[in-house]
């Protein structure tokens, strides 16, 4: 019997790492085929309610978005975020959280956008749930 080697997409690995490192947030993965442009994750916390996060993985300085994703993030940029993992030479990568309002800057290059947090899941969680200090 032949078995195919199952490969895990980089965004799925990012989700697992993200979920593990943000324990105060309840996460639901959303199926993108049902509603084009809607972010990958719906998060919930009692302090702030619901918010959404788009997951992106890139091996370059550019992040690819569909026209539907661009429309979503430009028209709904309150309490919505973009989490980008930028791969560098293995095994190093950088995880950055951006506000949705940074999508146009991300289209020109990651270095053109202002991150809310870099490689700090504790800070990322605090920002997402709008926790002070």
Query: How would you write the pLDDT of the chain (133 residues) with one tens digit per residue?
Result: 455 555 768 888 999 999 999 999 999 998 766 678 889 999 999 999 999 999 999 998 999 999 999 998 999 878 899 999 998 765 678 999 999 999 999 999 999 999 999 999 999 999 999 876 5
Q: With respect to CATH, is domain 10-128 assigned 3.40.1350.10?
A: yes
Strands 80-87, 41-45: pairing is unpaired
What's the predicted TM-score (pTM) here? 0.88
8 A C-beta contact, residue 82 and residue 102? yes
Name the phi and psi angles at 23, rounded to 5.
Answer: -70, -15
Name the phi and psi angles at 33, rounded to 5.
Answer: -70, -20
């Amino acid at each position: 019997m032949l078995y195919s080697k199952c490969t895990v997409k980089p965004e799925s690995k990012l989700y697992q790492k993200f979920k593990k490192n943000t324990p105060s947030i309840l996460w639901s993965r959303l199926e993108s085929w049902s509603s084009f442009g809607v972010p990958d994750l719906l998060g919930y916390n009692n302090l702030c309610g619901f918010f959404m996060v788009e997951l992106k993985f890139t091996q370059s300085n550019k992040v690819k978005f569909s026209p539907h994703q661009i429309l979503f993030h430009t028209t709904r940029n309150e309490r919505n975020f973009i989490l980008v993992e930028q791969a560098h030479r293995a095994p190093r990568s950088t995880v950055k959280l951006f506000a949705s309002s940074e999508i146009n800057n991300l289209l020109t290059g990651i270095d053109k956008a202002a991150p809310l947090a870099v490689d700090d899941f504790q800070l990322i969680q605090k920002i997402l749930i709008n926790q002070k200090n």
